[in-house]
Structure 1
Amino acid sequence: MTVVHRRDFLRIAAASAAGLAITGAPLRSALGAPLMIGVLIPGSKSDKGWMESGYDGMRAAEKRHGDKIKVSFIENVKFADMEQALVALATKNALVIGVGGQTEASVRKVAKRFPKVKFSVVGGNRGTQDDNVSQYDVRQAEIAFVAGAAAAMLSKNGAISYVGGLEIPAIVNAGKEFGNGARSIKPDIKYTESYTGDFDDVAKSKEATLAAISQGADIHYHILNLGLRGMEQAAREKGTHIIGSYTDRCGTNPLYVAYTITGVGFQVEYAIDQVVAGTWHAEFKPFGLAMGPKASDIAICSGSTPEMLARLNEIKKSILAGTIKVLES
Structure 2
Amino acid sequence: MGSCFVLRRFQSTVLGLMLVIPLATLAGCTGQQTSQPVASPITNQPGSSGTNATAKRLAVVLPGVPNDQSWDQAAYDAAQALKAKGVDVVVAEAVSPADAPRVLRQYADAGYTTIVAHSFNFQDAVFQVAKEYPNINFAWAGGIQRTGANVADYDQPFYQGAYLVGLVAAKLSKTGKLGAVHGFDIPVCHAMGKAMLAGAKKMRPDAKLVASAAGDWYDVAKAKEAAIAQAETGVDFWIGCGTGPVLGAIQAANTKGGYVTSYVGDMSSQGPKVVAANLIWNLEPLFTKMLEDTAAKTFANKFYQLAIPEDVIQVEVTPAFKDKVGADTIKQMEETRSKIASGEIKVPFVPK
Q: Which of the five TM-score ranges fits, normalised by the shorter chain? A: 0.7 to 0.9
2:148 is aligned with 1:126: no
Report the Cα offset of residue 27 of structure 1.
7.7
Total equivalences in the alignment: 302
Unaligned runs of 5+ in 2: 1-32, 38-43
Find out whether 1:254 has 2:273 as its counterpart: yes
Q: Which runs of 5+ in 1 are unaligned?
A: 10-25
Q: In the alignment, which of 254, 275, 282 is matched to residue 263 of structure 1?
A: 282
Report the secondary structure of 2:325's partner residue.
coil
Which segment drifts farther, 191-200 or 278-287? 278-287
Secondary structure of the 1:149 match is helix
Amino acid at match of 2:140: V
- Residues 199-236 of structure 1: CA deviation (Å, up to 9, x unaligned): 22222221121112122222111121245332222222
User: C-alpha distance in 1, partners of 2:138/2:350?
Assistant: 23
Counterpart code for 1:287:
L
In structure 1, the partner of 2:343 is: 321
Deviation at 1:51, TM superposition (A): 1.4
Task: Report the TM-score when normalising by structure 1.
Answer: 0.78
- Inter-partner Cα distance in structure 2 for 1:226 and 1:281: 34
Residue in structure 2 matched with residue 297 of structure 1 by the alignment: 314
Q: Alignment partner for residue 58 of structure 1, among 79, 86, 93?
A: 79
Q: CA deviation at 1:119?
A: 0.8
The DSSP-based 3-state class of the residue aligned with 1:307 is: helix
Q: After TM superposition, give the deviation of residue 56 of structure 1 in Å.
A: 1.4
Question: Quick check: 1:247–1:261 contact (8 Å CA) kept in 2?
Answer: yes
Residue 144 of structure 2 corresponds to residue 148 of structure 1: no
Q: Does 1:100 align with 2:119?
A: yes
Structure 1 residues 328 and 36, CA, compared in 2 at 3 Å: closer, same or farther? farther
Q: Distance in 2 between matches of 1:289 and 1:167?
A: 23
Match for 1:142: what amino acid? Q
- The separation in 1 between residues aligned to 2:222 and 2:100, in whole angstroms, is 25
- Aligned-pair CA distance for 1:248: 4.7
**1:192 aligned partner:** 210
Question: Could you tell me which residue of structure 2 aligns to residue 281 of structure 1?
Answer: 299
Shift in alpha-carbon separation, 1:55–1:232, aligned structure 2, 3 A:
same
Please give the alpha-carbon distance, in whole angstroms, between the structure 1 residues aligned to 2:310 and 2:150: 23
Query: When the two structures are superposed, what TM-score results if normalisation uses the length of structure 2?
Result: 0.74
Q: CA deviation at 1:124?
A: 3.1
Contact preservation (8 Å) 1:48, 1:226: no
Q: Name the residue aligned to 2:188.
A: 170
- Tell me by how many angstroms 1:161 deviates: 0.9
Corresponding position of 1:237: 255
Match of 2:132 among 113, 123, 129: 113
Farther off after superposition, 183-192 or 213-222: 183-192
In the alignment, structure 1 residue 312 sits paired with structure 2 residue 330: no
The one-letter amino acid of 1:132's match is N
**Identity score, percent:** 25
SS in 2 for 1:187: coil
